[in-house]
Structures are given as C-alpha cells and as structure tokens.
C-alpha cells in the first residue's frame, strides 16, 4: 500500500468536495489519519460546506458522492485506506478549534 502525505490526502478530499459541491462551496477541510472500528487504517475527514453555495443534491447524496470520489481517488493512487466523513457547520468548526 502506498503512503500518501497528510497534505496529499487533504487535497484529495478538497478536490472531491469541490467537484461534488461546486467551486467556492467548500470552506474548510481537515483530515486525521487513524484506525477504524476494526483497527484498519482510516482517514477521518471534516468538511465545512456552505449549503447556500453548494450545488443541489438530494439528502445524503452530497456526503455519498464526496466519499465515493475520495475512495476512488485513493484506490487509484494505491492507498486502500477507508475515508470517513463529517460535514459540519462553521460554528461546529470554530468550537472544535477552541476546544
């Protein structure tokens, strides 16, 4: 398995989110490597996406499409680490940063 840098993985997440949500809709991206529930390597992504700027998607599809694009890109680059996503509000992001 290929090891990608944190910056590369974050850029993969940003690119996927911008492709799905639309240019300018993705305000923040953060990724933390870790272990999933069965102790397999995982990437935990947090996104702040401006819903007013985002392209319209049926409920849940924004999340699923971003996840699929990230997963496809990771696999294409030789990294089989599973991505987990959270889409949070700017207030939640700011609260995390000060906690």
Q: SS3 for 27?
A: strand
**pLDDT class of 55 with cuts at 50, 70, 90:** confident
Q: 12 lies in which domain range?
A: 6-98
Per residue in 65-82, pLDDT (tens digit) is 999 999 999 999 999 999
Residue 51 has pLDDT above 90, yes or no: no
Residue 13 has pLDDT above 90, yes or no: yes
Residue 42: inside a domain: yes
43: CB partners within 8 A, 6+ apart: 9, 13, 31, 32, 33, 34, 70, 74, 81, 82, 83, 84
Residue 81 main-chain phi, psi, to 5 deg: -65, 135
CA 52 to chain centre: 19
**pLDDT class of 98 with cuts at 50, 70, 90:** low
Residue 86: inside a domain: yes
Residue 1: inside a domain: no
Residue 90: inside a domain: yes
**In the predicted model, what is the mean pLDDT of residues 28-45?**
94
Average pLDDT score, the chain:
91
CA dihedral 58, 75, 25, 96 (to 10 degrees): 100
Residue 49 has pLDDT above 80, yes or no: yes
Q: How many domains does the chain have?
A: 1
Q: Distances in Å between the alpha carbon of 20 and those of 33, 40, 55, 97?
A: 23, 27, 8, 26
Q: Are 85 and 63 in contact (CB under 8 A)?
A: yes
Residue 97 has pLDDT above 70, yes or no: no
Helix residue spans in the chain (DSSP H): 6-21, 61-76, 90-98
């Amino acid at each position: 398995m290929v090891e990608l840098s944190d910056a590369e993985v974050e850029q993969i997440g940003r690119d996927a989110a911008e492709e799905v949500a639309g240019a300018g809709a993705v305000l923040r991206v953060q990724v933390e490597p870790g272990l999933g529930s069965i102790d397999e390597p995982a990437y935990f992504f947090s996104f702040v996406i401006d819903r007013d700027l985002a392209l319209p998607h049926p409920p849940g599809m924004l999340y699923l499409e971003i996840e699929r694009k990230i997963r496809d890109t990771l696999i294409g680059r030789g990294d089989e680490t599973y991505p987990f996503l959270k889409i949070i509000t700017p207030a939640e992001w700011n609260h995390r940063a000060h906690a």
